[in-house]
Amino acid sequence: MNSSKIVSIKPIPTGPQQSAVEFREVLRLIGGGEAGRDVSTSVVFTAPCELVMRRVMARYGFDRLPATYGELFGLFEYCDSLDAASGVGLRPKDQLDEWQAASFVVWRRKHPQLMPAIERYCAGDTDGLRELHSQQDTLTTLGRNYLMVKDDE
């Protein structure tokens, strides 16, 4: 194996915040507890949390806030997938093209349904991403498809 091609997957210390950082703040603000176990339970955001969420939603091309825990947690996974595919926050800017080319191969094979969103996100096409999300009602679908693993299983 060529050791010059081995790269760390640890996040780089500079650059934009990834969604996980902001989502941890959201979870601190809305709590969770037993209500978070029922993914159909409505989510109500505090004023400070709503500001954070509106920023996140704009960054990832959504027009509305999540309405249920299922939508919220499905959104977490979705945005993490977009971030992982893009490499932003994971790799220095001069390595992003190579990272994205390699990650696109994997995403096309493993989750081809995500490629239209990934391509728009990586290109910085927030308007196109917003249009895609609106046409596909992505947030509702994420909530409907989100599965929570129960502790007793």
Look at residue 29 in the predicted model and tell me its pLDDT: 46
Beta bridge partners of 42: 68
Look at residue 13 in the predicted model and tell me its pLDDT: 46
Look at residue 24 in the predicted model and tell me its pLDDT: 58
**Cα(88)–Cα(99) distance, integer angstroms:** 9
- How is the chain split into domains, by residue range? 17-145
For the record, the structure tokens of 115 come out as 């490629």
Look at residue 27 in the predicted model and tell me its pLDDT: 57
**Cα(53)–Cα(43) distance, integer angstroms:** 12
pLDDT in tens, 23-40: 655 655 455 555 556 778
**Cα(38)–Cα(42) distance, integer angstroms:** 9
User: In whole angstroms, how far apart are CA 115 and each of 13, 65, 72, 83, 89?
Assistant: 27, 23, 21, 13, 20
In the predicted model, what is the mean pLDDT of the chain?
80
Query: Is the overall model pTM greater than 0.85, yes or no?
Result: no
Look at residue 37 in the predicted model and tell me its pLDDT: 62
**Cα(52)–Cα(70) distance, integer angstroms:** 18
Between 26 and 124, the higher pLDDT residue: 124
**Cα(66)–Cα(42) distance, integer angstroms:** 9
Contact in structure between 100 and 122 (CB atoms under 8 Å): yes
pLDDT in tens, 68-116: 888 988 998 999 999 999 998 888 889 999 999 999 999 999 999 999 9
